[in-house]
A and B are shown apart, each in its own frame.
Chain A
Amino acid sequence: MEVLYQIMNKQQDQWLFEISSKRKLIDLNFKEIWRYRDLLVLFIKRDIVTVYKQTVLGPLWFFIQPFFTSVIFTLVFNNIASISTGFVPAFLFNLSGITAWNYFKICLTGTSNTFRSNAGIFGKVYFPRFIVPLSKVISNLFKFGIQLLILIGFYIYYLVNGAQISLSVYTLLFPVYILLMMLFGLGVGMILSTWTTKYRDISILMSFVMQMLMYVSAVPYPLAEIQKKQPEYAWVVEYNPITHIIEGFRYILFNPPGVAFNWTPLLYVSLLATALFLVGLILFNRTEKTFIDTV
């Protein structure tokens, strides 16, 4: 009898899972995300396929935006305000900065709106919520890839025309910079997403903060230029980790003669990105459980 009771007792304790009010600090269930990998793939496919349905120009739109922004930046900053871009042709300099910035920006804004724009689905079915920002970040790689093509096109054009740019061994760091942009976008985006569910103020704030952030991230000018012209304010740009991603990204593409590659900013940015990503993940996991009550 005692044995039977023990067996029953044991059986009672073998639950497959538990839905509880208690929270764990990090509750990211990698096994579960892996189980839903097909969903991740389908989300990515959906995002890529559906954006330009019923448009005439289709993916050409991916080219048009960075191209014209670069043209305007070149006119305003380089021709009128005469900011020097060193050995790198001004247009190419701007195009590369904008391509990298665009990817980071879309990762961040896409992630920060995760809960709001998916409230419909999230309110009905459960699946690991982290799949959504992950799919956004990956599907945006496709857009980034297309924009990279136009960059490569102009790169070759300027190279043929004798610009002093070249690839180097550091170009191999390219995937590292992509990963850093992803981590930053996801990390900061997830931190913001926990606030945007409850307080809409954040998403209103975001649209112009992103605009300002671009200017303090050394996108339309080299970091050296502001250090030279405005040394008392340069620290704002120097401490901004995005600056170092953009600067590094440009360095590995153009390999400007006479400048050595600096590992310190890369290390600083990598550590910070990882930390922000982890903090974001903790907050995101906390929010996903109850956000539907406050969104």
Chain B
Amino acid sequence: MSIILKAENISKQYRLGLVGTGTLKHDFNRFWHRIRGKEDPYLKVGGVNDRTKKATEDYVWALQDINFEVEEGEVLGIIGKNGAGKSTLLKILSQVTSPTTGTIKSRGRIASLLEVGTGFHPELTGRENIYLNGAILGMTKAEIASKIDEIIDFSGCELYIDTPTKRYSSGMTVRLAFAVAAHLEPDIMVIDEVLAVGDAEFQKKAVGKMQDISRGQGRTVLFVSHNMAAVKSLCTRCIVLDNGGLAFNGHTDEAIDFYLKLNSSNRGIRNNSIFNPNEFEYSPHVRPVSISVGAVGKALEEPIEFEDEIEFKIQFNKLSENIQIDTTLQIKDSKGNYVISCGSGLSQNIENKNETGTVEHSVRFPSSFFSSEEFFVNVLFVENKKTVTVKLDDIISFQVLESTRKLGEWMGKSIAPIKIKLDWFLSTHD
């Protein structure tokens, strides 16, 4: 296979802050250097693109020294956190802006679906907008005319096709826009998060179309997404961007693992808390030692997947006899709503009245239970089933991933934090 796209030393520098008199001063200085044939004085400076830290310089490198190659017919995934430089890379690839240094060489035309519906004019009808949008994306009128029936059919907006698009619902506009974009035929296609649009039925159609594009027609695709399920099912290889640099380049599964570890350490996901024995002195009977959550049969650092059983372990020092200590988990979803309360008080197995020393309570949640999002956990220690002696808010958190859905299945996010797998029974009545 031959290389169709090659990025060499791509870097992009941005100026921080507002455009004002300072900009004018720098512009003059840059101009003064240029007419004397010197290098741009501001290219030497620039901090690393880490938005959590306070800026120390006026310039930042949104991308720095990115090198990669794409083979013909390959579906390359580009993953990274928000602000890692994905969008900047896509903008450079789609020629919206040019890199500060470096070159991209291509053997084919690149078309991008950065955001569908670009250039839609609300006063024009659906049909007129198909032509306009298609032409903006690089199709000729004849090409569009030959595909117009297919596009209208794919969008499912036939009834409204001669109505101005300002009368459309937002869903219809998106469908129409995606339909146009999906019928582009460039050599290299850049796709950014388009799977997040529309309802379930339309998503299925869209993913099917994507599958055709990448598999059936042998098109080269660069696919950017936060949706690991989609990345896993579509991409053969991935690059991971982190703080503007290329952090990983390799097989999709390894790349996703790499990304998830990077993600959890950066986003403050803490699935293991260990306590200083001198803390929490306000209870005479209990000293927490450690609290952890992880997938059964996996190390704590490994990502928790939807199919894994999830185990919570609470270790504490019990200082007094003749007192029953129960533990309770309060689990919140990423929006902060309490979704589960689960206490050992309801279990027959926890009878520790006469114990002292280090005690461990553990509980397992079944596989296929939590949907793919982040959860935050409060841990409560309860004395004699009536008094809360220690309450630890948000003491651990965990993230569940769903990455093994089949291609063509629904790729969207589950609407509820709990997505439970139960046995269903079929019976027929004649």
Residues of A within 8 A of B (CB): 11-12, 14-21, 35-36, 38-39, 41-43, 46, 49-50, 53-54, 120-127, 198-199, 289-290, 292-294
Contacts and interface: CB of A to CB of B under 8 A. Distances in A.
Nearest to B101: A21
Contacts, number: 105
B119 interface: yes
A39 B136 contact: yes
B124 A49 contact: yes
Contacts of B2: 11
A33 to B, nearest CB: 13
A20 B99 contact: yes
Contact of B114 (A36, A124, A289): A124
19 contacts: A11-B2, A12-B3, A17-B105, A19-B99, A20-B98, A38-B141, A41-B141, A42-B132, A42-B141, A50-B124, A124-B112, A124-B115, A125-B112, A125-B136, A126-B95, A127-B138, A198-B19, A199-B24, A293-B15
Contact of B94 (A41, A42, A126): A126
A46 B105 contact: no
Interface in B224-260: none
A46 B96 contact: no
A53 B121 CA distance: 12
A268 to B, nearest CB: 30
Contacts of A16: 106-109
- Return the 3 tightest CB-CB contacts between A and B, nearest first: A126-B95, A39-B135, A38-B141
Contacts of A43: 132
A212 to B, nearest CB: 25
B108 A50 contact: no
B136 A19 contact: no
B96 A126 contact: yes
Contact of B23 (A12, A198, A290): A198
B92 interface: yes
Q: What is the size category of the interface that chain B forms with chain A? A: 35 or more
Given A122-B96, A198-B27, A293-B15, 20 more contacts: A16-B108, A17-B105, A18-B103, A18-B105, A19-B103, A20-B98, A20-B102, A21-B99, A21-B100, A35-B140, A38-B141, A42-B132, A46-B132, A49-B124, A120-B118, A124-B118, A127-B136, A199-B19, A199-B24, A289-B98
A21 B121 contact: no
A26 B106 CA distance: 22
B140 A38 contact: yes
Contacts of A290: 97-98
A121 B118 contact: yes
Contacts of B96: 122-126, 292
Interface in B2-19: 2-3, 14-15, 19
A46 B121 contact: yes
B91 interface: yes
B173 to A, nearest CB: 15
Contacts of A120: 118
Nearest to A126: B95
A20 B98 CA distance: 7
Contact of B102 (A12, A21, A38, A50): A21
B118 A19 contact: no
A294 B15 CA distance: 9
A19 B104 contact: yes
A81 B131 CA distance: 54
Contact of A50 (B27, B123, B137, B141): B123
B427 to A, nearest CB: 53
A15 B106 contact: yes
Contact of B98 (A21, A50, A53): A21
A46 B123 CA distance: 9
Contacts of B382: none
A292 B97 CA distance: 7
B131 A42 contact: yes
B331 interface: no
B18 to A, nearest CB: 11
B234 to A, nearest CB: 22
Contact of A21 (B103, B109, B138): B103
Interface string B73-113: 00000000000000000011111111111111111110010
A11 to B, nearest CB: 7
Contacts of A38: 135, 139-141
A122 B91 CA distance: 10
Nearest to A38: B141
Given A17-B106, A198-B19, A293 B95 contact: no
A214 to B, nearest CB: 30
Nearest to B122: A50
Contact of B119 (A18, A121, A289): A121
B95 A19 contact: yes
B91 A292 contact: yes
